[in-house]
Structure 1
Amino acid sequence: MARHLVRLSWRSVAQSFSRRAQVASSAWAGLAVLLFGAVLVAVALRFSGEAADTTDRLLRGALVLVLAVGSFGTGALTHAADPLDERAVVFAGRTPGAASSGTLLASLLTPASLALLLLSAATVLTSMTEDAPWLQAAAVVLIWLVWWLAARLGVRVGRGVSGRRWGHEFAMLASYCLLLIAPPLVFWLLFLPWQDALDAAGEAVSGSIPWAPPASVLFVDTASSPLVSILPVVALVLLLGLLEFALGARAARRAMRAVSPGGATRLGLFRSATSSGPRAIALRIWLAWLRDGRYAVVLTTVILMPLVFVIPIAVGGLGLEWLSLLPVPVFAFLLGWALHNDTAYDSTALWIHVTSGMRGVVDRFGRAIPTLLLGVIVILLGGVVTGWFTSRELDAVVVIGVGLALLGTTAGGSSIMSAWRPYPVARPGESPFSQPLRSWGAALVAHPVAGLVEIALCAPAIWLGLLAVRDGDWALAWGVLGAGIGIGAVLAAAGLFIGGRVFTRRGWKLLEFAQSY
């Protein structure tokens, strides 16, 4: 059976690259990722040889860990091209355990696994040039096994996501996470001495890398017992292997169950929101962020705009100590202000809210929950990153305080404006960049003016923040944090309440607006 599975995997891989193959895109994507991994290994090893000792250790250890994560991600993305599925083998008369172990062992000899073996050998043989041959061989095998098991677990995750039809949602979620990481990284590369920071990080991290499997096998201390570095990696391999075997046996066992058509209705996430109007609205908005291209364009703009805003100011000559404080407050303002036309974006569900007699404050609060939760999380993380950039904890406190004030104020103001002055946008299913042929009317002026008013309402927190940063006064910094929380909470609550009253009074006019374009 194992020989047959290996032959099947090679034949399936060869056929996957044909033009008519249903999984051709996954196969070519997997090949592209493997080639990228090879280039990454070559570049990292090339520059690590010329770097300082601590930076060299950081690059080599990070390379092993990054490729482990990359193997998992590649398996998840290209799971459709993997032919070794224990759910199919179990119907050939094998027990679930035998099917799981058979596919697991057969996957060792697949083209992708052998390519990972070559990458592991290249990494180890260029990093452990002075170690004993048996240590080099052990390191090659252990790193290869970790990468291979990570890829197999990625395939399993990809199958689970695809089976539940969550692939698009997970892809969008990953895209948003990458977008959130990109602006700080670009800011770091453009405006900060990243080479010095990399050396400093190398000194801080190099001490922990020898204890981080599987990278720890690259730094075996031959003066003491090599088992100190090898045994954790062996334990990791056994743990991942047992996990893969158990999940494979479970999948094979579930495949043998008879499934009749029909059955109970599955509400998914909405099962937890059947008794809460705001929770149901918030969950629908979250799903719209992941499924609706119009929301994706808005969120992408909000995430990238702070970097675009900062670059011309930097060219104008603003000092780095002040420039580093701008991105997080700008993001907080844009995220809250982007809520100002949410009624138009969600117009297809608006009639349910109006005809069911839903209270306006429930509608407003439900729409604001996703924005407020995302904003608070990003502001807290952004404040920490800002403090790390500037090496001053005071800056982190100030940025968090000002950001929370702007987020709460703009979310409250947008809750009023979206019920008072909505304007036409592209309908669901249309291009996010299209615009209905209808005049925006007073909304063209009302929303920018509302944004300026919201900034003015946050002036006390902003002014205290400027004084705290200029004087380095911790008392003022804590005052900024308190003022930011207070202003944001009070104005957000006031905006939601007033917006709810406006929504209730203008409900039928909003419904007429939603049906008129």
Structure 2
Amino acid sequence: MVATLVKLRFLVLKNTLSRSPWQIVAVVIGALYGLGLLFGIVAGLIALSFAPLDVTTQVLIIAGSALVLGWVIIPLVFSGIEQTLEPARLVQFPIPLPKLLLGLGLSGILGVPGLVTTVAALAITISWIRYPAAAVAAIVCGLVGAVTCVLLSRAVAALGSGLASKRRFREVSGTIVLIPLILAGPIIIGVTGGLSSLDADTFPRVARVLGWTPLGAPWAVPADIAAGDWLPALAKFVIALAFLAIVIVIWYRAFASALVNPPQQANKLRGAGKVGLFGVFPATPRGAVMARSLTYWVRDPRYLRQLISVPILFAVFWVVSTFNENYILLYLTGPFIAFSLALVIFADISYDGTAFATHLANGVRGVDDRWGRVAALLSFGLPATVLGAVGSVAISGEWAFLPAILGLSLGLLFSGMAVVSVSSARFVITVPAAGDSPFKSNAGGSIGQAGISFAVMGMLLLFSLPEIVLTIIAFVTGDIVFGYATLAVGVVLGLVLMFVGIRVGGRTLDRTGPDLLVKLKLLRNG
């Protein structure tokens, strides 16, 4: 039974790869990335074998603790990525639980992340090659640490399976994780500044504390043996084994509970007459599309994370500009907001999924569909773009630059509406399904999406080239006349392109609508 479960995992992978050559490309790229990462880790471990004992100890304990913590965090914020052998799929099979857990554990270890972690953990032996007893201990402790990582991830996923079935939990978790990713720049600046002010005893203290915790205990045992501290090494090995046993018990009970009580999707009933935004906008095709699009922007995490990024990006640009005492990056706030918001809907029908069939069944004209989606985005995108442009100038105090910055921002926004009105009528891409984690993706899907998005970005930059050139001239010469020229060109040319793009996109959608629906069904079925 255990062998069957492991075989099933690789059979699913084989079937996935046979669907499309892009699936194979994506997996090969992932494998190469894993091998590159593993090569870098091994090279670092070889270098540590020549370092002083205290340096090797500190680096391995802190890095090993971060590795274990990473295996805990990943299933929390990227819920739903591993769907091959989840509890809900195994409820109907009468498989003994111990054999089931053993099979799932082995399949997790034999996956790419598990293999990379296991090999890296065993490679720690290289760093202790000068101390034979420590090297032998590193093999045993490396296996304990690697198994702990994989099973801890499984336990956390099993504990969170009930919460992960709730759409609101997925929305909140998927959106929250975006915040530290966007704030990576200021965080790196702050961490770098903080590390530079630390004294020489900080890292040894941190390593000593982590070595007595379940996170760092497996990696601290060889270090204590190398230093001749056998009693602390034995105590830490007991901590590592006890923690692994606790993880197994927690996983056993959580998985057993998930099998007996599989997560159920809850359906929320809305009271009669409560139609949300559909009762606010006109009862016309354009009004209905606008209401539905705005509902997506407010409630769908795939859209909501883009809205959250707007104020955070402004904060990032402000922090970096203040740190460098240069406001050039801050001036790009308005243009960047316009550029990024426009690109969100470059393949907007993909997010509709097969629900797009309602547009076709009700005979919604393509031009009405285009206007509804554009109006929904402009209802908040236009104020956000203007505030970003004005706010950046207000902070710097250089009001002479406002016309140029505002013209470039509006030109990018309106021209972007023109480009995406056509592109979203021609292309659909693989996106997370409604209710899934916004970070979930299918193998190979990101490659095609990247090609289309680069083409759309290129067209947008081409259509906005007059405003870009005039903005550069305005900044170089300091002549406000070029600034007002940028504003005029951005508004007039941008609006003309937007109206033309909506008309062209509408006619295109009338022609391609049935084909897009067929492609959406194929993407949904994998």
Q: If the length of structure 2 is used for normalisation, what is the TM-score?
A: 0.49
